[in-house]
Amino acid sequence: MSPDALLPIHGARIAHLIESDGPGGAERVVAQLAGELQRGGCPAVAILPAGGEGWLAGELRAAGVAVEHLPLEHPASPWLVRELAVTLRRHCVSLVHSHDFTMAFCGAWAARRARMPHVITMHGGRYYAARIRRRLALRAAVALSRSLVAVSEPLATHLSRDLWIRRARIVTIPNGARFAPAARSTLRAELGLTDDSPLIVAVGNLYPVKGHTYLLEALGRLAPTHPRLQLAIAGRGDLAQVLQSQARDLNVEGRVHFLGLRQDIANILAAADVFALPSLSEGLPVALLEAMFASRPIVASAVGDVPAALASGAAGRLVPPGDAAALAGAIRGLLTNPFEARALGQTAQARATAEYGIGRMVQRYVEVYQRLLANGARRGASL
């Protein structure tokens, strides 16, 4: 993003706090947002968990963002809040931006201690909602903060209900992505696949909420009528062995390729005949946006803001979450109708370009930052 676009907050130092250092969707948003701010003349610092995977730290350092690590074994401890506040002051931070539950709570108290404006972004999962203590903790963090951001309208509605706060207090900023589609892919050669082997691609860590078990079941349903159909899943996680066992039980083990953690997402997407997003819960997943930018035919669960991103089905097939039969049917429809599949991919790409570019997301955050920094300046002048 050009410096001119960030003129309203040029020179402001934004701290990004997040509880994970892995390659998830929220982490990728933080990497892109902080990197764009850094390039636009707003020096950024990120505070990450000590002993993490190091993926996010590497992405941030490559963009010139300063990185600090703090242990998060006891996130509610007064010590952590104190250390966070010390770190924020040492970096002369102008505004604190916390991402997801743990850092929302710790960051709110640390920002209050350091007398800095604080904004929270919630990225998707409602794991905070299962326990009343977590709801109360997050509600307290919101009360200490100047703004609460949700990445989708459904998530904003849930936050309003879960935390007993007015919907008007929540700003919705959809995720964006910077993505350059690959002209060609090396994935088929890597996997030893010929051009006449249709390939489904999924991108997402191997956690229950991502719904990969339903995608494997859908593959099992499709196998008898599509004997050359293959599935490649990019991601890593706790369910790797469980999913491999399921593939054996379904007799599709030779058709499923677990790619692990990959950096070459554009290369992987370019090989796909169909991109599948079988998630049970989402906000607005970055992997979906990247598939849209790559002009892939998409089959996705109708969760979070996925239906909005796919224009209620005009830019991709939508299915109920956890419904393997519907998932298989939608994939079959795209495989047997390449003209429709190509048209859906082109519509998805046009929609991503118009609505979900990284610049649009950053500008929306800049507007939030500008408002909070201006309010802070006025408040300081009145003291």
219-274 residue pLDDT tens = 999 999 999 999 999 999 899 999 999 999 999 999 999 999 898 999 999 999 99
Cα Rg, the chain, nearest whole Å: 21
Residues 250 and 372 in one domain: no
Residue 224 within any structural domain of the chain: yes
The verdict on 281 and 306 lying in the same domain is: yes
What DSSP element (H or E) covers 113? helix 101-114
pLDDT of residue 183: 85
Q: Domain for residue 196, yes or no?
A: yes
Same domain, 368 and 350: no
Q: What is the pLDDT of residue 129?
A: 76
Do 305 and 331 fall within a single domain? yes
- How many Å apart are CA 125 and CA 128, to the nearest integer? 8
Tell me which residue range forms the domain holding 145: 3-177+358-382
Task: Answer yes or no: do 329 and 364 share one domain.
Answer: no
Q: CB of 120 within 8 A of CB of 147?
A: yes
Name 263's Cβ contacts closer than 8 Å, sequence gap at least 6.
Answer: none
pLDDT of residue 78 exceeding 80: yes
Look at the chain and report how many structural domains it folds into.
Answer: 2
- Spell 99-129 as b/e; 16+ CB within 10 A means b: bbbbbbbbbbbbbbbbebbbbbbbbbbbebb
Quickly state the pLDDT bin for 383 (edges 50, 70, 90): very low
Quick one: pLDDT band at residue 8, thresholds 50, 70, 90? confident
Q: Domain check: are 298 and 368 in the same one? A: no
Give the residue-averaged pLDDT of 173-189: 92
Query: 197 and 163: one domain?
Result: no
What mean pLDDT comes out for the span 101-117? 95
Confidence at residue 72, expressed as pLDDT on a 0 to 100 scale: 85
Indicate whether 90 belongs to any domain.
Answer: yes
The answer to whether residues 69 and 163 belong to one domain is yes
pLDDT band at 77 (very low <50, low <70, confident <90, very high): confident
Q: Is residue 44 part of a domain?
A: yes
Tokens of 286: 């970055």
Contact 216, 327 (CB under 8 A): no
Q: How confident is the model at residue 22 (pLDDT cuts 50, 70, 90)?
A: confident
164 within a domain of the structure (yes/no): yes
Residues 293, 366, single domain; the answer is: no
Mean pLDDT over the full length of the chain: 92
User: Same domain for 132 and 226?
Assistant: no
Question: How many Cα atoms sit within 13 Å of 195 on the Cβ side?
Answer: 2
Is 182 a member of any domain?
A: no
Which secondary structure element, helix H or strand E, spans residue 16, and what is its range?
A: strand 14-18
Q: Do residues 319 and 330 make contact, with C-beta atoms less than 8 angstroms apart?
A: yes
According to the model, what pLDDT value does residue 23 have?
A: 86
pLDDT at 126: 72
DSSP string, 137-151: HHHHHHHTSSEEEES
Residue 343 in any domain: the answer is yes
* Full-model pTM: 0.87
What pLDDT does residue 223 have?
95
Per-residue model confidence as pLDDT tens digits over 273-289 = 999 999 999 989 999 99
Pair 199, 279 in one domain: yes
Same domain? 76 vs 138: yes
Query: What is residue 382's predicted lDDT score, i.e. its pLDDT?
Result: 31
Look up residue 302 and give its amino acid: A
In this structure, is residue 29 part of a structural domain?
yes
CATH number for the domain spanning 374: value is: 3.40.50.2000
